[in-house]
Structure 1
Amino acid sequence: MPSTHMKLKILLPFKVFAEKVDVLRIVAESRNGSFGLLPQRLDCVAALAPGILIYETATEGEVCVAVDEGVLVKTGSEVLISVRNAIGGTDLGELHKAVEQEFLNLDEQERSVRSVLAKLEGGFITRFAAMHHE
């Protein structure tokens, strides 16, 4: 008999953020838009964009979690979500602000840091090559 519930585990790099066993449905966001998961859906893998993850359980009802980018993997009745950061809360407006302030700004900071590192690496390689030719 097919399962009517899913097991959800939200993983962060340093801990398990949430683990639920009676999940009825999940709604997540990818770069192409939102998508939903039900227990009988075929197995899948999806890259998640920063946004609001919604899951529903019989006991808690609908729960919203702000998540950073990551990966969702559904195999059978198990759904694993691995993200860089997650923030739980009840106010949807506050969660949207958290996504904008925390996760999207972090991407800009990472791009800036990567640009500086690329310049440093380029300078190092140039000086190393010049030293090698001497």
Structure 2
Amino acid sequence: MSMAAEMQIALRLPSRILFQGPAIRLAATAEDGSFGILPNHVDFVTALVPSVLLITAPDGHERVFGIDAGLLVKKGHAVEIAVRRGVPSDSLENLHDTVGRTFAEVADDERAARAALSRLEADMVRRFSNLRRPQP
């Protein structure tokens, strides 16, 4: 593998790409602790825990993301990260409020979706039970 000055990072949510671009450094947290990746790091795969993900752009600007559990795959000069939920923040200081607000909204949406699904399932069961009844 050739030596590179930067790596390409893609941070994906189930519904969209949260970040995609070049980076010179990445810091994340796995089940066994925090770690960092530079462009020529050895290839590997790890499970991420809910934590802060830091991506340093080639110009030195640091991007901050609050993430839920996910998976990180480093292969060559590409890093693919898939997380269930994630939010960008302009700074580490504001991340706590941003994560709390955004994840609470998502939790409310998930709760409403589960309630709607339960109603749909109950309606299906009622309809199937009516099919089994003998007709007069």
TM-score (norm 2): 0.68
Between the two proteins, the alignment pairs up a number of residues equal to: 129
The residue type paired with residue 122 of structure 2 is G
Q: Distance in 1 between the 2:128 and 2:7 partners? A: 56
Secondary structure of 1:117's counterpart equals helix
Deviation at 1:69, TM superposition (A): 5.2
The residue type paired with residue 19 of structure 2 is F
Alignment RMSD: 3.1
8 Å CA contact 1:17, 1:86 repeated in 2: no
Q: Distance in 2 between the 1:98 and 1:78 partners? A: 28
The residue type paired with residue 63 of structure 1 is R
What corresponds to 1:72 in structure 2?
72
What are the residue-to-residue correspondences of 1:1-134 with 2, within 5 Å? 1-11=2-12, 13-14=15-16, 17-20=19-22, 23-30=23-30, 34-38=34-38, 39-47=40-48, 49=50, 51-67=51-67, 70-83=70-83, 84-89=85-90, 91-103=91-103, 105-134=104-133
Pair member with larger Rg: 2
CA deviations 1:10-42 (Å, max 9, x no partner) are 34534563411xx23211245665433233232
Secondary structure of 1:81's counterpart equals strand
Aligned identity (percent) is: 22
Can you give the 5+ residue segments of structure 2 that lack an aligned partner in the other structure? none
CA deviations 1:67-93 (Å, max 9, x no partner) are 45554322111012345553241x311
Can you give the 5+ residue segments of structure 1 that lack an aligned partner in the other structure? none
Deviation at 1:54, TM superposition (A): 0.4
Deviation at 1:98, TM superposition (A): 0.5
Secondary structure of 2:42's counterpart equals coil
The residue type paired with residue 9 of structure 2 is L
